[in-house]
Amino acid sequence: MNFPNSTSLLMVRHGQSTWNAQKRWQGQADPPLSDFGRHQAKVGSDSIGAVELVVASPQLRALETASIIAENIGIGPVQTHHGLRERGVGEWSGMTAEEIDRDYPGWIDSGRRPPQWEPDDLFTDRVLDAIGYLATEFGGSTILVVAHGGVILAVEDHLKVREGRIPNLHGRVVNHHNNELTAGDRLALIPRDLATGGTGIRN
């Protein structure tokens, strides 16, 4: 639901990174977009409506995606917010699911996580703090927020509207009004077959 003078945030996952293509968990590592990811961002920019601002996670895969879109729609410069970074996945960063199953047998399926994994509550709090900052600083605007699948899922879990994984250049609209966050529709800036081509395990 949209409210008068509410801040609308179009939260979108970045394009495919080089580690997505290799099916490696990323977390707070900083691989760049693949050529395919840059193509996804260019195609996705055609589906962006009127926005006043583009904000991104400072991680390269999100910032590159945001910069491509911003250039194509004539909005800029892209701003960044540290709170929009992906969850820290600790010792699993850079590993494939097969390597994790080898070194941590059964952990993924059972929900166990390595010691340096960023806890759910801390992760969700920093993401919500970032959204609150943007809503306050740019109140009444429509903002494109380019971040990570884990970031968007954390918001969906908070709002109890999770609908499965977030493909590249897909996401969720959220609205902020009177310090209350509400869920809008899921977003798809590119067709699902283009979004999932070569996509890896983690965001």
Residues carrying an active site annotation: 14, 86
The two structure tokens encoding residue 158: 């908070």
Greatest Cα pair distance, the chain, in angstroms, is 53
Contact 168/40 with Cβ under 8 angstroms?
yes
Neighbours of 19 (CB within 10 A): 23
Q: What is the rounded distance in angstroms from the CA atom of residue 20 to the CA atom of residue 25?
A: 8
Which candidate, 127, 104, 99, 128, places its Cα nearest to that of 202?
99
Neighbours of 40 (CB within 10 A): 27
By the 10 Å C-beta count (0-12 exposed, 13-18 middle, 19+ buried), 5 is classed as exposed
